[in-house]
Amino acid sequence: MKNVILLTIDALRKDSLGCYGNKSGLTPFIDSLQDKSIVFTNAQSIGPYTEASFRGILTSSYYLEYGREKKLSSERTLISEVLKQSGITTAAFHSNPYLSAYFGWNRGWDVFYDFMDVEVSDEVPYVTGNDLNKKVREWLSSYTRDRNYKPFFLWVHYMDVHEPYMPKQKYVDIVDPSIKLSRKEMYCLFRDVVLKRDVSDESKVKLLKKLYDAEVRETDDYIREFFGILEKLNLLQDSVIIITSDHGDEFNEHGGLSHDGKMYSELIDIPLIIYDPNRTRGEVCDTLVSNVDIPPTIAYLFGLGKVEKFEGISLLPIEEYPKKGCFGEAISKMGPGEKETDKPIYYYRENNLKIIYRESDDSWEMYDLEKDPRELNNIINISSKAEKMMEKLKPRIRRWERRT
């Protein structure tokens, strides 16, 4: 039995990666993994920000399944709980407050280190990838010192792409050597533009995107370093590695910045790669899949059967994965803070059609992603398929209120 490793990169857009068509060379290492990977081209997140998305990634359930919850419901089943009960060692390393022990994400882990005891700054409010890798290396070295160690599941979450966009100068130089900003100037862009969602100055939005790209390039090096740790410890050949993100980031595609409560492609479309060093060739899967399918896939890789509370389906074997639609939901909030008056937003995608419902103003949108990949032309009032798509989404709206 192989080890399974889940690498998640916060706020990483799918279109930042070369293996998804980006020509800027931002992810040379991740792109180099293609020959031994399955690359999913139509993976969808179930939500546009961390709290919404990670319920899919780690519990195979949807954000509002049990209503509006601040902490993780005890009714949800974490993949760590399933694996630990089956005798598999589980370990997690990340520094995202929304996924901390305080909010209940520490259930089922033999090792759960959320770095909430580490002091961070306003400029870099998380533990950087190199420090994260050091902690992971320490644990892996200790755990595998005994060569009779049990198979393990390891989750590592990188925050380095996330705002504030504060990349090191050497990575800025790779993206655009003409950019010479001090750390203070970078942070002021975050404080005065990103936080205020101010898209009035197109040049500042473009500058923010370049800083974001530099952080993507920097994070690719952290992933390279992580793989180097596995190789040095002779673990790479015995591990399957899943690489994905929880959501993307917006740069004025739909009038905003960051990752608010919207359901457009720049936030919902995610990279999803399953790397197996023992594969003889790479494979591309164009099937529409969801990140609720990640926990069942991890269970499958460990030889476990179907988990009752998991709503997703194992991505493996891919020839048995059914053709189906993808659903997602979130609170349609603007900015990092959620208000009690914020209302839910939902989407459903089937093939190249996506429909969105906003509860706040009882409005519908629909897009043909093949003809309109930027989602600029709402066809809800002119498409003959609109009614059918609406009927597929309606049963999911406020469904928790109908429970007895």
pLDDT digit string, tens, across residues 214-260: 999 999 999 999 999 999 999 999 999 999 999 999 999 999 999 99
* Alpha carbons 94 and 57: distance in angstroms, whole number: 14
Nearest of 13, 22, 108, 17 to residue 58 by alpha carbon: 108
With a CB cutoff of 8 Å and minimum separation 6, the contacts of 23 are none
Task: Specify the pLDDT at position 403.
Answer: 66
Task: Specify the pLDDT at position 340.
Answer: 87
- Evaluated on CA atoms 48, 49, 55, 57, the torsion sign reads positive
| Angle formed by the axes of helices 50-59 and 294-301, nearest 10° | 30
Q: In the chain, which stretches have pLDDT less than 70?
A: 403-404
* Alpha carbons 216 and 173: distance in angstroms, whole number: 13
Strand 239-245 relative to strand 3-9: parallel, antiparallel, unpaired?
parallel
Cross-strand bridge partners of residue 17 = none
With a CB cutoff of 8 Å and minimum separation 6, the contacts of 139 are 91, 93, 111
Task: Specify the pLDDT at position 258.
Answer: 98
Task: Specify the pLDDT at position 402.
Answer: 75
Q: What 3-state DSSP class applies to 11?
A: coil
The alpha-carbon radius of gyration of the chain (Å, integer) is 20
H/E segment holding residue 251: strand 250-251
* Alpha carbons 373 and 383: distance in angstroms, whole number: 16
Q: What's the CA angle centered on 233, arms 227 and 237, to 5 degrees?
A: 65
Please provide the distance, in angstroms rounded to a whole number, between the alpha carbons at the two ends of the chain: 42
Both structure tokens of 296: 């069942």
Task: Specify the pLDDT at position 147.
Answer: 83
The string of DSSP letters for 212-231 reads: HHHHHHHHHHHHHHHHHHHH
